[in-house]
Amino acid sequence: MEINTVKVLDPNGKIISSELEPKLSDEQLRELMRRMVFTRVWDQRAISLNRQGRLGFYAPVAGQEASMIGTQFALDKEDFILPSYRDIPQIVWHGLPMHQAFLYSRGHQAGGKIPEGVNVLMPQIIIGAQIVQCTGVAYGFKLKGEKKVAVTYIGDGGTSQGDFYEGLNFAGAYQAPAIFVVQNNRYAISVPIEKQTKAITLAHKSVAAGIPGYQVDGMDILAVYKVMQEAVERGKNGQGPTLIETLTYRFGPHTMAGDDPTRYRSNEEASEWEKNDPLIRFRKYLEAKGLWSEEDENKVIEEAKQTVSDAIKKADETPKMTVDELIDSMFETLPDDLREQKEEFRKTEAK
């Protein structure tokens, strides 16, 4: 089985084939660019906040904006996202308030209190668990006769997990309207894709599950959107699940928890991938159409800075968690051992 990489834009932002270009209005094209620029600035700010000790766990996203935003943009509000820990942009653009994303990073419970009507779960830390959960959500949509899709994300390394295969197999067997987006940024922390699998492409892993598999240039937001839009349509039309492999690259470390990418990636490799920066490629495309300017970009940059500033302030103003709240939130009726722990803690705190 041959799987070709879907591309719409070349590195200079020119259309490779007019047949591949998705039908998007000028307003939609501008919005895609706005979201990518906003997310890049937000990511830079989040890294600074992490270094200042104002955020906890954080996984940088620079380089993967086209993969993240292009896939989410093809969804309807009613569709469901089950993210991994790097996929904060998708759930924020899907409706989760940014200050809650910051609280999640700090390990605060309020970060996980998802507002009514926002169809997301909080990021999954257990590698691959979201694949099985996505299949379950999607199968629920099918049983209820609802025209919705569930989408989840995983990295290249995560495709080696047992849950990945189990989730795909169930989705294929029961034709669940699930979309599995594999963001292949070439490294599972420091393990390169060549040591992770002997599969020709990660999209080929769809074959055993009997579902369609596509590989797309993940630095090309138009290509990502086109493939995702078609997957959404298939899912909602009862044609079952889809696996999409996006070829992308994270410019920064795996997470801010001490990872140093220079220890396992060459400067030459990083420089080559930076030439395919999704923002630069799409900016050239829009500028040629007269849809984007330096003034437009500067407005978005300032908007992003202010939004992040307001969100971190709101997170700072959220009351700190208490041990009582943590224990009480675990069960509707506390078991004896937790009730005893709660009382012991109160006695210790009172001394």
Going across the sheet that includes 242-247, the strands are 5-6, 213-217, 242-247, 178-184, 150-155, 80-82
* Candidates 51, 264, 339, 346; catalytic one: 264
Q: What is the pLDDT of residues 178-193, one digit of tens each?
A: 999 999 999 999 999 9
The pLDDT value given to residue 325: 85
Question: Of 136, 145, 229, 138, whose CA–CA distance to 177 is shortest?
Answer: 138
Q: What is the pLDDT of residues 257-289, one digit of tens each?
A: 989 999 999 999 999 999 999 999 999 999 999
* Candidates 250, 281, 283, 285; catalytic one: 250
Strand 178-184 relative to strand 242-247, pairing: parallel
- CA angle 168/169/170 to nearest 5° reads 95
Give the 3-state secondary structure percentages of the chain, helix then strand then coil, rounded to 5: 50, 10, 35
Partners of residue 80 on adjacent β-strands: 150
* Candidates 34, 86, 186, 254; catalytic one: 254
Q: What is the pLDDT of residues 303-351, one digit of tens each?
A: 999 999 999 999 999 999 888 888 888 888 999 999 998 888 888 777 6
* Mean local confidence (pLDDT), 218-247: 98
Domain boundaries, the chain: 5-319, 321-351
One DSSP character per residue, 256-318 reads TTT--GGGTS-HHHHHHHHTT-HHHHHHHHHHHTT---HHHHHHHHHHHHHHHHHHHHHHHHS
What residues contact residue 22 under an 8 Å CB cut-off, 6+ apart? 8, 222, 225, 226, 229
Cα-to-chain-centroid distance, residue 17: 28
* Mean local confidence (pLDDT), 156-176: 97
Express as a percent the part of the chain with pLDDT over 90: 91
The pLDDT value given to residue 351: 67
Decide if 204 is catalytic. no
Residue 258: half-sphere exposure toward Cβ, Cα within 13 Å: 0
Whether the predicted pLDDT of 219 surpasses 90: yes
Highest CATH level, class, for 5-319: alpha beta
What residues contact residue 261 under an 8 Å CB cut-off, 6+ apart? 187, 190, 252, 253, 254, 270
Cα-to-chain-centroid distance, residue 195: 24
Decide if 94 is catalytic. no
Q: What is the pLDDT of residues 37-70, one digit of tens each?
A: 999 999 999 999 999 999 999 999 999 999 999 9
CB 282 within 8 A of CB 72: no
Question: Of 281, 205, 276, 208, whose CA–CA distance to 243 is shortest?
Answer: 205
Express as a percent the part of the chain with pLDDT over 70: 100
Decide if 99 is catalytic. no
The pLDDT value given to residue 103: 97
